Amino acid sequence: MRSTWGVLAGLLCLLALPACSQEKVAAAGPSPAYAQLLRTLYRETVPTIRPAELAALCQQPDAVVLLDTRTTAEYRVSHLRGARFVNFEQYEQATFPDLPRNRPVVVYCSVGYRSERVGERLKALGFSNVRNLYGGIFEWVNEGHAVYNAQGRTTDIHPYSALWSLWLTRGNKVYE
The rounded distance, in Å, linking the Cα atoms of 16 and 37 is 11
* 21 Rama sector, left if φ>0, alpha if ψ -120 to 50, beta otherwise: beta
Question: Cα 84 to the chain's mean position, in Å?
Answer: 14
Which residues have a Cβ under 8 Å from the Cβ of 159 and sit 6 or more positions away?
110, 138, 165, 168, 173, 175
The rounded distance, in Å, linking the Cα atoms of 143 and 131 is 19
Q: Which of 9-18, 22-31, 115-124 has the lowest mean pLDDT?
A: 9-18
Per the CB < 8 A criterion, the answer to whether 94 and 121 are in contact is yes
Q: Does 9 have pLDDT greater than 70?
A: no
The rounded distance, in Å, linking the Cα atoms of 38 and 16 is 15
User: Tens digit of pLDDT for each residue in 18-53?
Assistant: 333 333 334 468 899 999 999 999 999 999 999 999
Q: What is the pTM of this model?
A: 0.83
What's at 147, amino acid-wise?
V
> What DSSP character marks residue 129?
S
Give the pLDDT of residue 28: 61
DSSP run (H or E) holding 176: none
Higher pLDDT, residue 135 or 94: 135
Give the pLDDT of residue 15: 42
Mean pLDDT of the chain: 86
**For 96-104, what is the mean pLDDT?**
90
Confidence of residue 93 (pLDDT cuts 50, 70, 90): confident
DSSP run (H or E) holding 90: none
Confidence of residue 94 (pLDDT cuts 50, 70, 90): confident
Per the CB < 8 A criterion, the answer to whether 172 and 155 are in contact is yes
